[in-house]
A and B are shown apart, each in its own frame.
Chain A
């Protein structure tokens, strides 16, 4: 079974600075999909960014980008120019192409300091 590990329970960043959240996963599959989700306090979880394992190019969505290292089974999220609205819990998730479900890490709580 796949496992997803987020080793940083809490992170903080100064507004306008850059922060990187870590995620590692364990799998024997060669094809899979990785996601980062954001869960603001008392609000619903939303998709931030996705990465297909067969793509070498790292995904980017505006201020959010990933560093996908397939051999190391690492999938970190970089947030540039951090904003107060980025404060949330961030979850890394793994999805097999043949499975409907996703496996989530335990999350990293990001605090943005003004």
Chain B
């Protein structure tokens, strides 16, 4: 297993453009999470999936953010009409259902909105 993969590693976009990130979790893991991390802060929860079902979405997440996990495999996170405040590291993680099972994180996608 190659771990959790995220693509791209870096993305620079102009304000107002749409961006999409991809995450490939560990194949045996049925849960997939998206977090956002800004400099000097801890990861902030965005949303998570169990198989293909999106079970929770942060109330802090605006309608410009959407995530999918078709067929319970890879996931995509789309940000529409990007704003400078969206600049951050977007982290994907996967895990088993058991709550004592920690996350396996990907390397993240660093988004810069100019």
Contacts and interface: CB of A to CB of B under 8 A. Distances in A.
B108 A101 contact: no
A45 interface: yes
B55 A100 contact: yes
Nearest to A9: B40
B42 interface: yes
A46 B108 CA distance: 12
Interface in B20-50: 31, 33, 35, 40-45, 48, 50
B43 A91 contact: yes
B77 interface: no
Nearest to A36: B102
Contacts of B55: 100
Contacts of A99: 56, 99
B75 to A, nearest CB: 14
B105 A45 contact: yes
Interface in A76-113: 91, 95-97, 99-107
Interface string B87-111: 0000101000001101111111000
A44 B107 contact: yes
B42 A101 contact: no
A106 B33 contact: no
B106 A106 contact: no
Given A91-B43, A106-B42, A44 B106 contact: yes
20 contacts: A4-B42, A37-B103, A43-B107, A44-B106, A44-B107, A44-B108, A45-B43, A46-B105, A47-B104, A50-B100, A50-B102, A95-B99, A97-B99, A99-B99, A101-B45, A101-B48, A101-B56, A104-B35, A104-B43, A107-B40
Interface of A: 4, 6, 9, 33, 35, 37, 43-47, 50, 52, 91, 95-97, 99-107
